[in-house]
Amino acid sequence: MIALPFTTGDWLALLPIGIVGVAGLLVLVADLFSRKHAPRYLNIAIGLAGAAAAAGFAASQYGHDRSTFFGGFLTGGFTSVFEIVVLIALAGSLVLYGALGDEEVLGGTVALMLWSACGAMLMAGSANLMTVFLGLELLSLALYCLCGLVDRKTAREAALKYLILSSTASGFMLYGMGLLFGATGSVQFADFVNPALASSPIFWLGAGLFLVGLAFKMSLVPFHTWAPDVYEGAPLPVTAFMSVATKAAVLAVFARFAYAALPSAAAGAVLLPIWIVAGISMIAGNVGMLAQHDLKRLLAYSGIAQVGYILTAMAGTTALGLRYAMYYLVAYSFMNLGAFAVAAAMSGGGEEGSWLGNYAGLAQRRPWLAASMTFFLIGMAGLPPTAGFLGKILILSSSVGAGYVWMAALLIVGTAISLYAYAKVVFAMYSQTQHRVRDVRPFVPLAWLSAGICTVAVVIMTFYPLTPSDVLPLVR
């Protein structure tokens, strides 16, 4: 019998991920034995119960710093925050699946989404290159399948495009990892903080290729063109999940790499290209929104800009900037999921309610839906009084304090551009239209519930701006 060199503490660190993974297996078993008798909501209930239990254990690990699996996985505040963001995205997307999912493939899609969340959570706590790649592939492989799990040509195209482009980016990242290992002789982030590496061209090249892979996963310019097409083609719940969980997981890896894995003498120069493309992304994403007629494409371009905002907070790699980035990420997650929930409530007749023409005159037909969507769009635009406004103020103070005034200026310009794009949707909802517009479904309880929860969460974050503390030591 082989004795594994891992302790009980090691396995407990992975308990939140394990719960989500087991929940995926239970969904398949329940779907197999009770397909004809149980309501469709059984699979959703199992998934939500798994997400809730995992969130509870992840929250209990907050403040308990542990290095497990020989430094491969870290627990504590940093990991807990990002794991909970992923679980929020998972829960919100599962609820939308309950409202829109095809019952024939519901069990499989829910299981795949749970396992994809496992990959994102693994990335949140990863502290070496191998764990990063393992989590990234677990996250991505499930998403490739989820994108194509509807009988629609655009969905199959989205799945194929995402598979090809994302695999190419993974290749860049893997090659960068190989060079980093060649330069350092280690896969541990902690071993990269060696001043001697600042003069190693292999380390510079490896770090650059690694960051190129992360930039693609975050859909930063110029690696952003896949996002609108994939978002539009994928099923609406999958798009909602991708828009939050993928960003949270990759931002967690980027934060660990930027804060902990770069020699101080080289960090500024290595990260400068990322700050530049983040600034360009804020402008390009907001300009791209102006011409969109589909909500999913609009939110895809919005996501490109929002990642730029979050990276602006991290510019200078200050502890305060990381806390503000986490705050804005959580606020954006609720606002984005809320907008997708409204779109789910607009869906019916086999069509997703993402065409913006359907929103004309919505305030006359469904005033509460129009009010919720207005609130979410105002928040993403950064207007008061919302958590989005407060988050941008915090980001501006952080970037200016760190000396990145030009990024703060680009954030202001990008926000001004985005106002027109978001206002276009709001004006359409409150316009008095004489044209015949496809009416919404009578009532979609789960979509309305999701929109209501997201609204309450954003309101709470507006008046109680809790930012996580004591996270930076966990990164280091």
Angle between helices 367-381 and 387-401 (to 10 degrees): 0
Determine the Cα–Cα distance for residues 263 and 269; give it in Å rounded to an integer. 11
Where residue 364 falls among pLDDT bands split at 50, 70, 90? confident
Would the pLDDT of 474 be above 70? no
pLDDT at site 37: 60
How many Cα neighbours within 13 Å face the side chain of 9?
13
Where residue 35 falls among pLDDT bands split at 50, 70, 90? low
Residue of 390, 375, 388 whose CA lies nearest to 451: 375
pLDDT at site 476: 54
Would the pLDDT of 32 be above 70? yes
pLDDT over 70 for what percent of the chain?
Answer: 95
- Cβ atoms of 371 and 429 within 8 Å: the answer is no
Where residue 264 falls among pLDDT bands split at 50, 70, 90? confident
Determine the Cα–Cα distance for residues 21 and 6; give it in Å rounded to an integer. 20
- Cβ atoms of 344 and 447 within 8 Å: the answer is yes
Which range is least confidently modeled, 78-87, 272-281, 424-433? 424-433
pLDDT digits (tens, 9 = 90+) for 410-467: 999 999 999 999 999 999 999 877 665 556 566 677 888 889 999 999 999 988 888 8
pLDDT at site 131: 94
Q: How far is CA 26 from CA 57, 168, 215, 260, in A?
A: 19, 33, 35, 38
Where residue 473 falls among pLDDT bands split at 50, 70, 90? low
pLDDT at site 441: 61
Residue of 389, 225, 390, 411 whose CA lies nearest to 315: 411
pLDDT at site 434: 62
In this prediction, residues 145-158 reach a mean pLDDT of: 85
pLDDT at site 350: 66
Would the pLDDT of 391 be above 90? yes
In this prediction, residues 269-298 reach a mean pLDDT of: 93
pLDDT at site 134: 94
pLDDT at site 39: 63
pLDDT digits (tens, 9 = 90+) for 222-261: 888 889 999 988 889 999 999 999 999 999 999 999 988 8
Q: pTM for this one?
A: 0.93
Would the pLDDT of 146 be above 70? yes
The whole-chain average pLDDT of the chain stands at: 88
Determine the Cα–Cα distance for residues 313 and 394; give it in Å rounded to an integer. 8
H/E run at residue 454 = helix 445-463
Where residue 346 falls among pLDDT bands split at 50, 70, 90? confident
pLDDT at site 467: 81
Would the pLDDT of 302 be above 90? yes
Which range is least confidently modeled, 100-104, 146-150, 225-229, 372-376? 100-104
- Cβ atoms of 139 and 116 within 8 Å: the answer is yes
pLDDT at site 340: 92
In this prediction, residues 309-329 reach a mean pLDDT of: 92
pLDDT at site 2: 67
